[in-house]
Chain A
Amino acid sequence: MPKEEIGTVASLLPGEKANILKVSGKVCLRRRLLDMGVLPGSIIQMIRHAPLGDPIEVKIKGYHLSLRKSEACHITVKRLK
C-alpha cells in the first residue's frame, strides 16, 4: 500500500526525509520550533525514536533536535522520495 505523501513528522520512519509544509500548535510551541529552524520549506529528516518510543530525534538545518511525538504531530510535512 503506498504511503500517504502528506503526514506529520511523527509519522515518518527513521531515515525518511520530508519537506515541512506547516507548523501549527500553541504559540509557545510554534515559536520555539520556528526559532529552532523548524520552518515551512525546510527539510527535516527522521533519525530515530528514543528507546522508550518517545521522544523522537530529527535532523534539521544540519543539527539534531529532539521533540516529543505530541509536539511532532503539529509539524505537517510532505514526504520526499
Chain B
Amino acid sequence: MSRIRLSDAKPNAELMLYKILGGMGMERRLTEMGLLPGEKIKRIDSPNNGPVVLFVKGAKIAIGRGMADKIIVEECTQKKIIKVALAGNPNSGKTSVFNNLTGARQHVGNYPGVTVEKKEGIAYCDDYTIKITDLPGTYSLTAYSLDEVVTRNFIIHEKPDLIVDIVDASNLERNLYLFTQLMEFGIPLALAFNMSDIAQSAGQQTDDNAMSELLGVSIVHTVGNKNKGTKALLDVMVKTYRERADKKNISVNYGREIEEEISKIIALLSHERDLIMEYPPRWLTVKLLEDDKYIVDSIKTKQGTDEITKQIESSRAHIKTIFADDAETVFADKRYGFINGILHETTKQNKDPRLQISDNIDQIVANRILGIPIFLGIMWFMFKAIFYLSEKPMQWIECAQGLIGSSISGLLPEGSLIQGLIVDGVIGGVGSVLVFVPVIFLLFFFISILEDSGYMARIAFIVDKFMHKIGLHGRSFIPMLLGFGCNVPAIMATRVIESRKDRITTILINPFMSCGARLPVYTLLIGAFFSERISGNILFSLYILGFLMAVFMAKVFRKFIFTGESAPFVMELPPYRMPTLNGLIIHMWERGWLYIKKAGTVIMLGCIIIWSLSALPLSSGGDLTKSYIGKIGKAIEPTVRPLGFDWKIGTALVAGVVAKEIVVGTLGVLYGTDENADESSSGLREALRKDTYPDGRPVFTPLIAYVFMVFVLLYIPCLSTAAVIRKETGSWGWMFFSIGYSTVLAWVTSFVIYQGGRLVGL
C-alpha cells in the first residue's frame, strides 16, 4: 500500500486519510470538516487547477491545493490477487509442493461438469494474495485424456496470471515436454525444479542462469517432501507477475518449414475474431496442425472456416512430405529436440541413484517368480494390520456411543417418542457407522503408503494381465480392493482410471466388493446358524462370491455395453520414494472425512426415516407388525417368498437400503430382543434360531441364512454409494441402472441358491 500526498492522488481514487502534516490549527480545521485519520475519502475534482474536491462521509468538501499538499493519504487499491496454476507431470511431487505453499488453506472441489478433482489454495507473499490451483498431473495436453483436457481448458478459460510448472529435476527431459506445450499459451511461466536434492546428490549440475535465459523463465529449486524452496517459489511467483509486461515470450521453434505453415494459418486465423479471443493463436495453430480432435471440431462447426480447414490439410500434407512422418510425430520430435538442445548446453546429467535403488527393489518386487507372492504378502499384511490396529479404537467408539446414549437418554422424558428418536434412531444409527471410522482411516493410511511410495504403479503392473482379461485396467484393482473397506471412497478412487469405459465398468461392479458395513450382518447370521468350525469358510465364500460376480458382470458390461478396444495401458513406473508422514495424513484425512460426512448426513437421515417408520403410526403402540415398516415388509413379502424369506427379513432388507449395517439393527427391533441389538448379541441370535411360522416350521434355516447374506451382499448399493455413483458418473441414469441390475442379480442368485439348496435337501 503506497502513501502519497492528497494533491498527487488520481481523480476518482479511493483513498484513506493517513496523516495531516500541517500544524495544529490546520488539523483542527480539517477535523471539523470530518477529515480524520483513517477516514475513507474520494477525490472527485478534475485534474485541472483549482481546489481539490473531496467526497467525505456523503458530503463534498473543497480544499486548497496547498492544504492538499500537506495531507498524506493511502491508496486503497484493491488487494492484489495473483492467480497461479500449478502444472506438472504425475509423480513430480506437485502435490507436496502445493501443500507446502498453501498449508491448510486449501479446499477440494470439482472442475465444472467433470469429476476431476480441483484443488485450490491461498498463499500470501508481500502484499499479494496468491490464489493457487493445483491442476491435474499430466504428461501432455492432448484431447485424449480427461485430465489433459481439463488442464488446458482451465488455462484457456480461467486465464491464470501465471503458470508454475513443477518438474522432477532428476528427469528433466520428459518433464520439460509439458513445459514446451505450456510455452505456447503465451501466459507467463515459472519453473520449479522439484526433488532437486536428489538430482544434486546424483551429481547433476545445472547452469540455472543459462537455462533460465534460454527458456525465458525464472527457475527455483524446491524439495517438496522437505518443504524447501517454498518461500523462494512464492517470491518467484510475485517477481514473474510484476515483470510480466517486459518478458518476451519464447516458444519452441519448429524449424523454418513448419514455422512458415504456422504463420500462414495464424494469418488466416487473425480474421476469426471470436476464435482468437478464445484461444491463444499459436497454441490454436499447433493444435490444428496436430489434428487435435477437440479443436478441429470446434473450428469445423464455425461458419466460414473452410479456408482455414483447407490450409491445415495442405500444411499437414506438406509437413508429411518433407519429414516423411505425420505432423504429430514431427511436433513431438521437435519438442524433444528443443529440450535436448537446451539440456545439452546447460546440464551435466549423471545417472540417478534413485533409479539404481529403484531398479534393485524392482528386481525383487516385480520379479517373475517373487512378484506375486510379495504382492499377496503385502496385501495380507495390510489387512491384518488394519484389523489388528483398529480393534481398540473401535471399542472406544462403542463405549463413547453407549455413554452418550445413556446420558442423553436420562435427559429426555422416559419412553417418549423423542427419546426413542434421538437415542435409538440418531445415536444408535450414526454410531453403527462411526464405529468403522478407525478401519476406514487405517485403510486409507495404508493405501496412501502404497500410492506415495510408488508401489501402487507396480500393483497395476503385476495384476494388469488378469484385470485385462476381465476387461478392465490394472488401475481398476485398487478401487476394487478399497471396496472391501467402503464402496464410497472406492468409487471415488476410480478417478485414477483415464478411460471412461473402464471407469464406469469399475464403478458399476464395485458394490459387489463386500464392504465393511456388510460384515455385521454376516457376523450375526454366521454366529447364529453355522458352527464355529466352518464359520470362516462361510464368510470367505461370501467375499469370493462377491468378487466372482464383479468379474462376471465386468465381462458382461464389456461385451454388451462398453464394447470396443480398451484404452492404452502405457504407464510410468516412478522411482520408489519414501512417503512423508505429512502427505500420508493429508491423504488419509481427505478421504476418511468423506466417510464421516456420510455418517453425519445420509445415514443419519436414513436412520431417522427408518426409526420413524417403525415407531409410527402412534396407534401401533410399539408393535412393529402394525407399524409402517411392518406394513411395507408385509407388502413385499410375496416377492421375497421364493427366496425363503418371511416379512421380517423383507423389512430388514428394505431398511438396509439406507446402509447395510441397518439390517442388523432392524432385526433387533423386529425381534424386540433388546433395544441396542448388535451382531454379537446372543439374545438376537437366540431369537432368530427360535422363530417359527405358525405351522411350526423354523423361519431361518442355515440355507435361508446363507441366502439372506447373499442377498445383502448383492442387492442395491447403500444410499451413500448410490449417491456417489451419481456424482462420479455424472448421471442419474447410471445410478438407477446400478440399483436396478444389482437387485435383479441379487434376486436371481438368491433364488438359484435357495431352490438349488432345497433340491439337494439342505
Among A9-45, those with CB < 8 Å from B are: 23, 26-37, 39-42
- Cβ A35 vs Cβ B573 within 8 A: no
- Cβ A28 vs Cβ B144 within 8 A: yes
Distance to closest chain A CB from B577 (angstroms): 13
Distance to closest chain B CB from A24 (angstroms): 10
| B333 close to chain A: CB less than 8 A | yes
Partner of A71, one of B142, B368, B463, B569: B569
Among A48-73, those with CB < 8 Å from B are: 48-55, 57, 61-68, 71
Interface size for A (C-beta < 8 A) is 36
How far is B568's CA from A54's CA once the two chains are assembled, in angstroms? 14
| B111 close to chain A: CB less than 8 A | no
Residue with the highest number of chain B CB atoms closer than 10 Å, among A27, A51, A55: A51
Q: Between A and B, how many residue pairs show CB distances below 8 Å?
A: 133
| B177 close to chain A: CB less than 8 A | yes
How far is B329's CA from A41's CA once the two chains are assembled, in angstroms? 11
Partner of B465, one of A32, A34, A53: A53
- Cβ A28 vs Cβ B568 within 8 A: yes
Partner of A36, one of B325, B328, B349, B572: B572
Partner of B171, one of A30, A34, A62: A62
- Cβ A40 vs Cβ B329 within 8 A: yes
Known A-B contacts A30-B328, A50-B465, A52-B462; the reply to A35 vs B333 at CB < 8 A is no
Distance to closest chain A CB from B201 (angstroms): 16
Partner of B464, one of A39, A54, A62: A54
Partner of B366, one of A36, A41, A57, A61: A57
How far is B332's CA from A23's CA once the two chains are assembled, in angstroms? 12
Interface size for B (C-beta < 8 A) is 47
- Cβ A35 vs Cβ B367 within 8 A: no
How far is B355's CA from A55's CA once the two chains are assembled, in angstroms? 20
Closest partner residue, chain A, to B140 (CB atom): A35
Q: A55 — which chain B residues lie within 8 A by C-beta?
A: 461, 464-465, 474, 569
Partner of A63, one of B333, B366, B572: B572
How far is B352's CA from A31's CA once the two chains are assembled, in angstroms? 27
Known A-B contacts A29-B570, A35-B142, A67-B571; the reply to A40 vs B462 at CB < 8 A is no
- Cβ B570 vs Cβ A62 within 8 A: no
Closest partner residue, chain A, to B351 (CB atom): A62
Partner of A62, one of B174, B325, B372: B174
Distance to closest chain A CB from B329 (angstroms): 6
How far is B375's CA from A52's CA once the two chains are assembled, in angstroms? 13
- Cβ A32 vs Cβ B144 within 8 A: yes
How far is B627's CA from A68's CA once the two chains are assembled, in angstroms? 59
Residue with the highest number of chain B CB atoms closer than 10 Å, among A35, A36, A67: A35
Known A-B contacts A41-B333, A51-B369, A68-B464; the reply to A57 vs B573 at CB < 8 A is yes
- Cβ A40 vs Cβ B371 within 8 A: no
- Cβ B174 vs Cβ A61 within 8 A: yes
- Cβ A65 vs Cβ B571 within 8 A: yes
Distance to closest chain B CB from A18 (angstroms): 17
- Cβ A65 vs Cβ B572 within 8 A: yes
Distance to closest chain B CB from A68 (angstroms): 5
How far is B140's CA from A37's CA once the two chains are assembled, in angstroms? 11
Residue with the highest number of chain A CB atoms closer than 10 Å, among B465, B468, B570: B570
- Cβ A50 vs Cβ B462 within 8 A: yes
Among B463-521, those with CB < 8 Å from A are: 463-466, 468, 474
- Cβ B465 vs Cβ A31 within 8 A: no
- Cβ A33 vs Cβ B570 within 8 A: yes
How far is B367's CA from A34's CA once the two chains are assembled, in angstroms? 28
Distance to closest chain A CB from B332 (angstroms): 4
Name the 10 nearest CB pairs between A and B, nearest first.
A51-B371, A35-B140, A52-B465, A34-B332, A64-B573, A54-B465, A29-B568, A68-B569, A28-B144, A67-B570
A sample of 19 cross-chain residue pairs with beta-carbon separation below 8 angstroms, ordered by A number, consists of A26-B565, A28-B568, A31-B144, A34-B328, A34-B332, A40-B333, A47-B362, A48-B366, A48-B367, A48-B368, A51-B366, A51-B369, A52-B464, A52-B465, A55-B474, A63-B171, A64-B573, A66-B461, A66-B570
User: Told that A36-B570, A39-B329, A64-B573 touch, could you supply 8 new A-B pairs with CB distance under 8 A?
Assistant: A26-B565, A39-B332, A47-B362, A51-B366, A53-B465, A63-B573, A66-B572, A68-B468
Binding site for A on B (CB under 8 A): 139-140, 142, 144, 171, 173-174, 177, 291, 325, 328-329, 332-333, 336, 349, 352, 355, 358-359, 362, 366-369, 371-372, 457, 460-466, 468, 474, 565, 567-575
